[in-house]
Structure 1
Amino acid sequence: MFHCYLLRCSDGTFYCGHTDDMERRLAEHKSGACGGYTYKRRPVELVWNDAFQTRDDAKAAEKRIKGWSKAKKEALIQRDWVRISELARCRGLNR
């Protein structure tokens, strides 16, 4: 099983990633062990994740979500599918 996940960083930004071990990866983000984007933006909070059968599917979801606006990511966190659809139509993109 693979996961795509969204973290809310302490500065209000989001970080999207994928992993095959959600618990381990979240601990790495929280401790700063993985460095990168989230290192200076700790603490981070897991606000959304979903499971996928393949790594390719999880990576595809990550790539798609990274292209979304902050408003669309907030709608995802709330699982507001109507709002996600509205935001996609407003931009004229299926992102």
Structure 2
Amino acid sequence: MATLSKRRRGNGWLSRREYALKLRCETWGVPYSKVSRAKVFNRDGWVCQLCGQPIDRVIRFPKPLSKSLDHIVPLSHGPGTPGHVESNCQAAHFGCNASKGNRV
């Protein structure tokens, strides 16, 4: 059975998560570039940028305290916004990110 996941490295294929994100960017008309999640979390010191509490690396989705990548300016704000680029991403807890919604 074929899978939608494109996990090969080095040939331009995207993971399922990145492919879905790229489609969202195209839908909202905002720029997309590959962002290293590890680089963003290390840059932010594994601290939630919304609540200021540390992010536990072991807790997994869908727990509220699991790690999540938050867009500072949401993609749904449409053209003219930064889009999915490293400077528009920050580390957050899944629960904090979900409660933020599409607000700035």
Scaled by the length of structure 2, the TM-score of the pair is 0.23
Which structure is higher in helix share?
Answer: 1
TM-score under structure 1 length normalisation: 0.24
Which structure features the higher share of strand residues?
Answer: 1
Q: Which has the larger radius of gyration?
A: 2
